[in-house]
Structure 1
Amino acid sequence: MNHFCPGCFAEIPAEAVRCPVCGFDLAAYDGLHFEERLLLATRHLIREHQMMAVQVLGQRRSRLALARFADILANERDPYVCLVVLRALRNYPPDVALPLVRAAEGHRSRLVARFARELEAELRAGPTGPPGT
């Protein structure tokens, strides 16, 4: 069975106490809060795992995730990961989401930049639908 570091996702020996690549204290992982584990998963090498973690953090409206979301939007080359982050920002209040959305309007991917502009307009317009929903 292969073992992987939850900090950097490098393959590690089963008996390792610290990751030989990044130095992550493997015993400390069990003591991490669920949200902290999700934040680590946003760096997962498998994109689907990464995107699922972003979605869950967004559903939870995690304030801890906002800095990571900003980092993803600024540095991630995969536009689909960035789109998942932008969709996750829909769960936050507009005053929290808008600064990150605006920053993504200058993204190198035209797809991401266009979606960010559309999302900004959506957030500025406020909730839609019948009153009381």
Structure 2
Amino acid sequence: MTYYCMNCWSEIEKDTIICPNCGYDQQKLSNESFSNKLLKAINHPEPQTIIRAANILGELKIKEAIPSLLSKLETEKDPFIIKAVVESLLKIDNSLFHRIREVISDKQQLFIKKILEKQMSQNSKIVIPENHKRSLSVTARHIESSLNDMEELLKKERKESVTEKIIFNMTQEHREKILEIIKIIREKNKNMFEELDLNGNVFYEDRIIRSRISHIWTLLCDSTANALKGYGDLNAEQAQIIDKHINSLLDTVQEIQSIIR
């Protein structure tokens, strides 16, 4: 096993206390702060140690590491280390993007082209206050949802059901014109969403099913003969037939609940 001085990273013997190269007392390491140990590791001879240290410095957003990381970029040739250091710097402070480009060479930029392109894209987005961002995110999501509904209807992909009948009373010419305009609205909404860096919804299949089943269950429980007394009296036969249907529906809905439980 090879041992290194924790200050200058020159090779030393296993039990060396004072480095013969730089005079550093190896016993002082235990008194160093965690961030200082990470900073020292930036110049470690083993690439994986440098990469791990850079990753941790970035995750912890240790601003004191910025000068050391920038200095590392000026001389580093290993593409994996360059990538780790750049990612770390951008996590600590993404406004360092232009400073990074000044420090690294054209050849180094080739190693991290995708990272730089991604950061350029993010920098081009307009930052708006969070309250406005939330409101506009809801607007964009509702626009998208309404466009989907209209498109489904105009393409006659919406299926009729027992409780819903659609009368198609528009000409095909009008449908096609509206569908073209919907494409334009969709693209403009997409541009707004991306430029303002708005937030979309993320749905989990099982949560949607649970939510819908819970809603159906509540509706059915509120529709028993006893629950409907507020709307007026029912005779025994009326109450019996209503409860027959409601209880049958509840039993079947419960089968879905047992699957997703």
Flag whether TM exceeds 0.5 (same fold): yes
Tell me which interval the TM-score lies in, with the shorter structure as reference length: 0.7 to 0.9
Note the 1:16-95 alignment, pairs <5 A: 16-95=16-95
Normalised by the length of structure 2, the TM-score is 0.44
Structure 1, residues 90-133: CA drift from partner, whole Å, max 9, x if none? 313333x22432324644334246346414403413584617xx
Residues 49, 129 of structure 1: alpha-carbon distance in 2 compared, 3 angstrom cutoff: farther
The percentage of aligned residue pairs carrying the same residue is: 22
| Residues in 2 aligned to 1:105 and 1:24: alpha-carbon distance in whole angstroms | 31
More helix by share: 2
Distance 1:18 1:116 in 2: 42
Indicate if the aligned counterparts of 1:38 and 1:57 stay in contact, CA closer than 8 A: yes
Assess if the C-alpha contact under 8 Å between 1:105 and 1:114 holds in 2.
no
TM-score with structure 1 length normalisation? 0.80
Gapped regions of structure 2 (runs ≥ 5):
128-196, 201-261
Paired amino acid for 1:29: L
The corresponding residue for 2:199 is: 130
Q: Which residue in the other structure is 2:7 paired with? A: 7
- Tell me how far 1:46 sits from its aligned partner: 1.0
Q: Cα deviations across residues 25-77 of structure 1 (Å, max 9, x unaligned)?
A: 21211110000001111111110111110010011111111011111111111
User: Cα gap change, 1:25/1:84 in structure 2, threshold over 3 Å: closer, same or farther?
Assistant: same
Bigger radius of gyration: 2
- For residues 114 and 3 of structure 1, do their structure 2 counterparts lie closer, same or farther at Cα, with a shift above 3 Å needed? closer
Query: Which amino acid in the other structure matches residue 101 of structure 1?
Result: I
Distance 2:9 2:99 in 1: 27
CA 27–107 in structure 1, closer or farther in 2 if over 3 Å, else same: farther
What CA distance in whole angstroms lies between the structure 1 residues aligned with 2:104 and 2:10?
33
Mapped to 2, the partners of 1:92 and 1:120 lie a distance apart of 13
